[in-house]
Amino acid sequence: MSAAHSAAPRGAVLNLLRRLHFYIGLFVAPFIFVAALSGTLYVLTPQLENLIYSDALTAHPQGNAQPLSAQISAARAYAGEKQHIYAVRPAPGATDTTRVQFSDASLGASQSRAVFIDPYSLKVTGDMTVYGTSGVLPLRTTLDLLHSSLLLGDFGRNYSELAASWLWVAALGGVVLWLGTRPKRKLKAARTGFAFSRHWHITLGLTLVLGLVFFSVTGLTWSQWAGNNIDRWRTELNWLTPQVNTSLSGDAAATPADPHADHHSMPGMPDMDMSDMDMSKMSMSSMAKPVAQSAKPMPNNQPDGDWDRVLNAARQDGLSASKLELRQPKSADKAWAVTEIDRSWPTRVDAVSVNPQDFTIVDHVYFAQFPMVAKLTRWGVDAHMGVLFGLPNQLLLAFFGLGLCSMIVLGYRMWWIRRPKQIEASPAQTLTETWLAIPHYSKGTCLILALALGYALPVMGISLLAFMLVDILRWRKQQRVPMTEAEILASQQSPLGIIRARFRVKRKEMRYFLRGVCILALIVGTVMSNAIIGGVIDQYGIPFSHWSLTMYITQGLMIALYSSVFTALMSIPLWYFFLGESDPQGK
């Protein structure tokens, strides 16, 4: 085949990819931007959170520490003797407090009430809600929920899944576009204008591409719809994470059937908990298979002295990490579970189960014996959350997050520079047109890929259909523009008349755009008001009518800030739909 015949199909495929890249940037980039920025704030705030809550987290050594049983007794006396203990985390260091976590039906998924006890004086140093295995406190809980769900609950989780589903496509597609056009274009570090933005957009993209793909893949494991598919595939391929067996009957499998055991916080599955991200979609019925359906829950706490015995048994069996979590049996036929929760390198997440009758070891699971896939999953999750390598991990994630935000801003700046002038007709080349221009075998390949990815990543499939709907509407809108101009030219032959007519068209489109922004602002403001006000009421238990003036002002400013930011970000697609673009190729 000659070069002349091979160049056209290659160029058509690049045009299709370029158009898809443009659509991802236009419609999905606002959500990717929010996910990147909120994730960056999350990974940069552990030290700040420790400083803010230092009074609760810091103990004052005075001689020898009291037994763990005495510390638990102090916490129960403070919280109420009938309060059920969810978990206990002994003080990991000499200047750290012990954390006794109580179940609270009024709290959200993976949340518990933590009472902090000074191991020496047995004084209560703090009482607050904590979240997930990492035990993040209120500040980072808010950032976590913002990152995963925009503070909108399960419905909001679709935003983060949308961002994760398209991020890898945008990153790899950008690299392919650069490789396809690199011989024709010499990139120079221009200081101003479109060339400057394009140069740094490409430079950042090539620098960050591997990290962006990593974040996309690991982020999808937390997602609601794609995450279910990933769980099913892990089950079918037997890539599950080993879990300690807490059954006393001896006939339960040591490895639970739940492939999402490393994604959420559930009793009996603590060693691979990733509940820092909201996994509330999982129900108790999807956890490890119960051994005996007739086993009755044990409503009362175990004797305080048993916590000391269980801790000693776990230490004697080899659990040496400073960060441990103890959970009491949930029913009469279950054992205690003791788990290492040190996610920093080297990873220490060994676990043992202890018989509540004679305090012998029932089962143990060692990270060193995990299958390689399970180890990679653990390391990938911890690296994504910024805990695997400590401060260097945090700084690296911040670099990727801020770099991604900068790349998105540069992409929008390129589009803004090439936006239409008032007197232009704003032509547009649609995604449909570029797809029709590619060879037939490429069309088939694209359809197969779209169907496969739409099945594996449902949010991507739905959003792709939305892309096509907007694309068709945009194409039909552009088809009407030449007819209008022909009528104008027939009645007004002067150049000034043509210019005035085009101004009228643009003013009409601008009015539609502004109306769309107003409707969007109303919707966003309503959603944000409901989410923020409802969240404050749920967290603090204060009815709206009993708020103080300071709370009204503070939350009002928060609603205004969130509404303004999201309205501005989501207005960008509206601008494109009503006002178009001046460069159909996005060049």
pLDDT by 10-residue block (mean), the chain, 587 residues: 52 90 91 94 94 95 95 96 95 97 86 96 96 90 90 84 97 94 61 85 96 96 91 87 88 44 36 39 35 49 91 96 95 94 94 96 95 92 95 97 96 80 52 85 92 96 90 72 48 57 69 84 86 73 82 85 81 70 45
**Which of 93, 108, 136 represents a domain boundary (last residue)?**
136
Residues 406 and 379 in one domain: no
Any domain includes 527: yes
Predicted confidence at residue 559, as pLDDT, reads 86
Give helix 458-491 / helix 226-236 axis angle, nearest 10°: 140
Predicted confidence at residue 120, as pLDDT, reads 97
Residues 266 and 327 in one domain: yes
Predicted confidence at residue 514, as pLDDT, reads 85
Predicted confidence at residue 291, as pLDDT, reads 38
Could you report how far apart the first and last alpha carbons of the chain are, in Å? 28
Any domain includes 476: no
Query: What is the span of the domain harbouring residue 393?
Result: 1-53+147-220+388-418+429-467
Any domain includes 174: yes
- What is the rounded CA–CA span in Å between residue 120 and residue 324? 19
Q: How many domains does the chain have?
A: 4
Contacts made by residues 519-527, CB under 8 angstroms, sequence distance 24+: 520/567, 520/570, 520/571, 520/574, 521/563, 521/567, 524/563, 524/566, 524/567, 524/570, 525/559, 525/563, 525/567, 527/152
Six-digit token string for 331: 């029913």
Predicted confidence at residue 187, as pLDDT, reads 52
Any domain includes 206: yes
Contact in structure between 136 and 276 (CB atoms under 8 Å): yes
Cβ atoms within 10 Å of 316's Cβ, excluding its own: 11
Which residues on adjacent β-strands are paired with residue 124?
A: 117
Contact in structure between 369 and 349 (CB atoms under 8 Å): no
Any domain includes 97: yes
Residues 457 and 502 in one domain: no
Any domain includes 114: yes
Contacts made by residues 437-441, CB under 8 angstroms, sequence distance 24+: 437/12, 437/15, 437/16, 438/9, 438/12, 438/13, 438/16, 439/9, 439/12
**Which of 101, 136, 171 represents a domain boundary (last residue)?**
136
Check whether the bond before 242 is cis (ω within 30° of 0).
no
Q: Quick one: residue 63, left, alpha or beta (phi over 0 = left, psi -120 to 50 = alpha)?
A: left
User: Which residue do the tokens 């129900």 mark?
Assistant: 283
Predicted confidence at residue 109, as pLDDT, reads 78
Query: Which pTM value belongs to this model?
Result: 0.81
